Structure 1
């Protein structure tokens, strides 16, 4: 397994950024409850949090770029699950693409964002490939990863953070797994392709939410819709 050294750095800095954002949301309602002089102090404190958040964002980008090497996948929409399963950089590519896709899926579905740990995701990908019996094909791999992701790829939330429900996470994960199954050569616009997969998941809604942790059942649904896109 080849993991990028940037993964734990990204996880740590994103956790800090998420904690700052959650703290800001806790403080925000106080602004309307206090008299003007104190309100000014609240505003100043919130601005300070914003500046720290921007600094963390900058440091995340700088640290990650400084650590990137030839072992870190740089391609954008050429990574499908089929390729990831056979490439030494597959676990890192999976983690990065899953994070990218989930950020968009949570926003498009108007769901509270959950912080995916790229390190946990990469390890889970490698562990799933090495499982006994191994996944039979890309659809089976996607089903196994969806169950694994829902159970143990997300970082613990900071205090006061609003969390997505298990059903909401399953919906977003299904959309992204569907996206990773579709051959990007059929649609080189990865954003448009991801949007289509998110719309498909949203249309299925309750059917996805009620899916048991059954690889065969999840595989059937993923296979059915991936072939329609």
Structure 2
């Protein structure tokens, strides 16, 4: 997800619920772009902060391969809940076991900001804010906030259902019950284990898995 004129934080808590934070536009030429997840099951929380860039003489694909073009040299990144401020530590994801994949942007260093998740004490419905600040003049370059979403239970198919009718002309629904009323979207992956038979004999082909 890329925002050219705003800062965003994605919060994911408990069983993968997520909530997107979109902040107001900035007046500076270099605007922060923030990616991250708050997840109670993670021991360490990592936040990525990059900046917008433009070059009148070079292609974006060339500029994006220069680390100084995509990262701020000196910023403070904080997560805030009420009157509590949690300052994140700058690190290189490549040395933390999270190398950046080959692609459009420079791989090294892989600048991230981290904090122990246990220090945050994540709770459902808590309002969190992220601030990106210039330590020289204490000016906030970007900020955004959202409430933390809670967990959910899958209500359909019911846990007691062990067999589904997957005929081509049959449909079935997936239902969830949430702990709160915060708006959210769900990604659903269905993994099928199946057995293919021909004339009473099991025949496994391609990705066929014996049930």
Q: Which category describes the TM-score, using the shorter chain as reference length?
A: under 0.3
When normalised by structure 2's length, the TM-score is 0.25
The structure richer in helix per residue is 1
When normalised by structure 1's length, the TM-score is 0.23
From the CA coordinates, give the structure whose radius of gyration is larger: 2
